């Protein structure tokens, strides 16, 4: 958790959730588009609170519902941008807008995924991103950012469409990533991080 209060343009993340086991790459729910969120109720609040608790327990900066095995197009995040300022948010049914033409610059930074823990590899992505969607009460939300925040917004939106970042890598890089994960898999047993 950051020392300074995070930037929360649409309110704080819900707390009091239960840490759930992480769903891994290869599970069917990770590789198909998620169901749109249509009910903004207590069940959704409980799910999102559990996602937040799980994200923090796993030392992540973002988490999509499919990563705890739930087929819903929603993600949570608490992530710093290029300047180090943390932004927090919840996005249901996200849509992503990326820079085009001369405004489009790629960031070649390392990327990892809590559903393939302990492995990181370079993955080129646009260095700025905007996500629009709905918040916990069905209100419209929008988040934009650069640096790691841009990468996080793209990565988590991908999850809601059934894409893991390994799908964006060459076969060679994906094998390298898998090898890294296999080397440290003992540190992330079934049920981790619950």
- The residues that are catalytic are 156
User: Token pair for residue 128?
Assistant: 């700025």
* Distance in angstroms (rounded) separating the CA atoms of residues 17 and 90: 14
Q: What are phi and psi of 190, to 5 degrees?
A: -50, 140
Q: With 0-12 CB in 10 A as exposed, 13-18 as middle and 19+ as buried, what is 157?
A: buried
Taking CA atoms, 112 is separated from 5, 13, 43, 55, in Å, by 25, 22, 29, 13
Q: Where are the alpha helices (DSSP H) in 24-126?
A: 42-57
Query: Strand ranges (DSSP E) for the chain?
Result: 62-64, 74-80, 86-97, 106-107, 110-113, 116-122, 125-126, 128-134, 140-146
Q: Which residue has the tokens 């095995």?
A: 69
Largest distance between two CA atoms of the chain: 45
| Distance from chain centroid for Cα 170 | 21
């Amino acid at each position: 958790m950051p020392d300074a209060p995070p930037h929360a343009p649409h309110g704080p993340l819900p707390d009091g959730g239960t840490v759930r086991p992480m769903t891994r790459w290869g599970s069917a729910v990770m590789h198909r588009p998620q169901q749109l969120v249509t009910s903004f109720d207590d069940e959704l609040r409980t799910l999102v609170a559990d996602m937040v608790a799980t994200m923090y327990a796993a030392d992540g900066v973002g988490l999509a519902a499919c990563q705890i095995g739930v087929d819903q197009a929603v993600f949570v995040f608490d992530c710093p941008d290029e300047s180090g300022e943390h932004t927090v948010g919840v996005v249901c049914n996200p849509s992503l807008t990326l820079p085009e033409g001369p405004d489009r610059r790629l960031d070649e930074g390392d990327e990892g995924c809590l559903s393939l823990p302990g492995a990181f590899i370079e993955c080129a992505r646009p260095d700025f991103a905007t996500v629009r969607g709905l918040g916990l009460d069905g209100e419209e939300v929008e988040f934009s950012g650069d640096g790691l925040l841009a990468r996080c917004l793209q990565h988590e939106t991908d999850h809601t469409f059934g894409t893991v970042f390994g799908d964006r890598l060459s076969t060679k890089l994906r094998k390298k990533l898998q090898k890294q994960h296999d080397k440290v898999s003992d540190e992330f047993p079934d049920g981790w991080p619950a």
